[in-house]
Structure 1
Amino acid sequence: MKKVSNGFIYTFGSLGGLLFGYDIASVSGAILFIQKQLRLGSWQQGMVVSAVLIGAIIGALATSKFLDTYGRRILLLWAAGIFFVGALGSGFAPEFYVLLVTRIILGIGVGITSALVPAYLQELAPKKRRGAITTLWQLMIMIGILLAYILNYTFSGLFTGWRWMLGFAAIPAALLFIGALYLPESPRFLVKVGKLDEAKAFLENTNNGDDKAVEIALTDIQAQAS
């Protein structure tokens, strides 16, 4: 098992929250420029904004189906890859229907991360830190929203500024993908698939070698998984 610091785990694990928040806010600044450049009608503008919700439903349903089959880390990699494709595709979309499809793809990434990441972080964190980790997820969403507003303002003077507003999300998505390659699997999933030694090794790392805390955590996980 790859050993990484707790700070690395929580920072990159919660990066999905930043992407979630960024997407919520970025389209609000981009839609006026999209409407002018692609000459969208009212219903088309509504579809561009709401397409993410359609994708999010698909992503959330897929997460509930595959979460215990492929594991948390693999799904996080999928989500990051989907986010990257959706963000880059939205930024380069030449016309309405391409933008609509790429926004739905982006929404699938939103659905996966919103359903997966809070639970994943809770499973990774020691019991005494779970409240703080939940706060970190919410904080990252707020940072994502703030970043979107800053970049919306920064790019608002460009004719193709909306492409930068939407496409910028590909950068944190790429960072999430790279970081997820080094993130550990959830100890709950490891116990579920019979990898007790790996689960124990991870718990020893996050609990700083506290044998009593490790045994209590492992017993709780085994009880929940049974």
Structure 2
Amino acid sequence: MPTSFVKEAVKGNNKFLLRIAVIAALGGFLFGYDTGIISGAQLYIQRDLSTTSLEQQWIVGALLVGAVVGAALSGWLSDRIGRRWTKVGSGTVYVLAGLASAFSPDTPWLLASRFVLGLAVGTASFVSVEYISEQAPARLRGGVTSFNQLMVTTGILVAYLVAAALQGAPAGWRWMLGLSAVPGLALAVGMLTVPSSPRWLVARGRKDDARRVLSRTRSDDETDDELDSITEAVGTSRSTRLRDLFRQPLRPLMVVGLVLAIGQQVIGVNTVVYYSATILNYTGLSASASVLQAISVGITNVVFTVVAILLLDRVGRRPLLLVGTTAATLALVALGLWFAVPGLKDHPLFALVFLLVFMAGFAVGLGPVFWLMISEIFPVGVRSKAMSIATVANWAANFLVSYFFLQLVGAMGESGTFWLYAGFGVLSFFFFLRKVPETKDRSLEEIQQEVGSRT
């Protein structure tokens, strides 16, 4: 039963693990809130700052460019100062940049503030997953690590609710952006109360500290066995240059990570997140009604992410990835048909249903599985660098898909755009079917040994 995850998660030391996961996953909340809030704030920013269409695109794009840079830096930071302090720093930067966005006197100031926000979001986006996966035992790692994706979806939903509540309020968009400082502060302070990653501690020669950390979430036998496995894995790893990640035996793993990263974006998920109100507005709804309807997209995202958390450690990563990608691709085909067939446009509810099916498929598949698997498949000695590269690719694809969405709609029409995304979904499905391994019920060190020997 899916409830087995809940029963196991609340036992004994696992309660401490849950506290670690919830605090660390606040990095995901920052990611979700700031990418979601801009959907509701754009209309009011345009009115108050008289932004051009190009500037509106860059208000979205500046954060994504910053996230690419932040993700690139975070691999080095995660190894140098540790996962914990990297996240303290990203939370602090997020608070300052969130407040700067809220008080922006003009468009250039807002663009600069959102770029700095992106640095924090890009850093937190993968270090949260890396940190949680290295703290969690194998039997709970899938569900607990996916708390980060749950926080992403919760952040998006909260952003939609805040945008709806502040519609028409004086300086409403400033409040929308400024409220992001609250979870940023919670992340920075919360990370001061949790321990460092045991794998990072072993890599720094602090084996006794690592044992103390592991003992808080494992039994005595589990602690000794896992510490021996980590020590062996760290001992056999060596310093790797970036170009070595694309040589044997690491290259197949990097290909899997990069295709997961890019595949998550090229099916168009963040056009739904950033432009959900715009897409619904295409169906004939008013601007205010579109913002309200977009809340249902956020709710669906949260609900089906919870479903994924309950199932990941029971049915495995591959089944959810394949089923979710199939559902999302079929929904994109249906959305394209809705825009292409004149008679269907008399029924805007159909478009909303297709959007919800798309989001449900993404939320049980590519949404959580990408972040989880890139935290599992790479050897400990190169994990931070490899995850950083995959995250850079993810944010870069996010930027390209989101930035060119409106241009694609202008050039290909709504139907052609959604069919293009569906085509990428089909290609992704067949790659996942052939190349993505199952990692359920294996320790990170066992995955390293098994996948490494196979490649």
For normalisation by structure 1, the TM-score amounts to 0.95
Q: Pick from 209, 212, 215: which aligns with 2:221?
A: 212
SS in 2 for 1:10: helix
1:39 is matched with which residue? 50
Indicate whether 1:181 and 2:192 are aligned.
yes
Counterpart residue number, 1:84: 95
What's 2:230 paired with?
A: 221
Aligned length: 221
When Rg is computed on C-alpha atoms for both structures, the one with the higher figure is 2
1:70 equivalent in alignment to 2:81? yes
- How far apart, in 2, do the equivalents of 1:149 and 1:31 lie? 12
Task: Report SS of the residue matched to 2:216.
Answer: helix
Distance 1:224 1:98 in 2: 47
Please tell me whether residue 159 in structure 1 is matched to residue 203 in structure 2.
no
Tell me how far apart the structure 2 counterparts of residues 15 and 60 of structure 1 sit (CA, whole Å): 17
Note the C-alpha offset of 1:63: 0.6
- Which residues of structure 1 form unaligned runs of 5+? none
* Other structure's SS at 2:110 match: helix
Separation in 2 of the partners of 1:113 and 1:69? 15
- How many percent identity over aligned positions? 38
Shift of 1:85: 1.2
Counterpart CA distance in 2 for 1:86 and 1:212 is 45
Q: Helix, strand or coil: the match of 1:184? A: coil
Aligned match of 2:150: 139
The offset of 1:171, in angstroms, is 0.3
Given the alignment, which residue of 52, 55, 60 partners 2:63? 52
How many angstroms apart in 2 are the aligned matches of 1:5 and 1:135?
Answer: 16
SS at match of 2:170: coil
Residue of 172, 178, 199 corresponding to 2:183: 172
Alignment partners' CA distance in 1, 2:27 and 2:217: 21
Do 2:202 and 2:231's aligned partners in 1 also have CA atoms closer than 8 Å? Answer: yes
The more displaced of 105-114 and 5-14 is: 5-14
> In the aligned structure 2, how far is the partner of 1:138 from the partner of 1:65?
23
> Which of 109, 112, 119 is the matching residue for 1:101?
112
What CA deviation, in whole Å up to 9, does each residue of 1:104-131 have, x standing for no partner?
A: 0000011001121111100011221101
Distance across 2 between alignment mates of 1:96 and 1:214: 53
Structure 1 moving runs of 4+ over 4 Å: none
State the superposition RMSD in angstroms: 1.1
Q: Distance in 2 between matches of 1:126 and 1:203?
A: 9
For residues 223 and 45 of structure 1, the distance between their equivalents in structure 2, rounded to whole angstroms, comes to 51
Q: CA–CA distance in 2 between the matches of 1:10 and 1:94?
A: 37
* Aligned counterparts of 2:174 and 2:22: Cα–Cα separation in 1: 27
Distance in structure 2 (CA, Å) of the matches to 1:224 and 1:26: 42
Structure with larger RCO (C-alpha < 8 A, sep 6+): 1
3-state SS in 2 of match to 1:62 = helix
Alpha-carbon distance between aligned partners in 2 of 1:225 and 1:59, rounded to the nearest angstrom? 26
Distance 2:229 2:29 in 1: 31
Separation in structure 2 between the aligned mates of residue 139 and residue 182 of structure 1, nearest angstrom: 22
Give per-residue Cα distances to partners, 1:70-116, cap 9 Å, x unaligned. 10111001110111111111111111111011000000011001121
SS in 2 for 1:206: coil
Q: Tell me by how many angstroms 1:52 deviates.
A: 0.5
Structure 1 residue 5: deviation in Å? Answer: 2.6
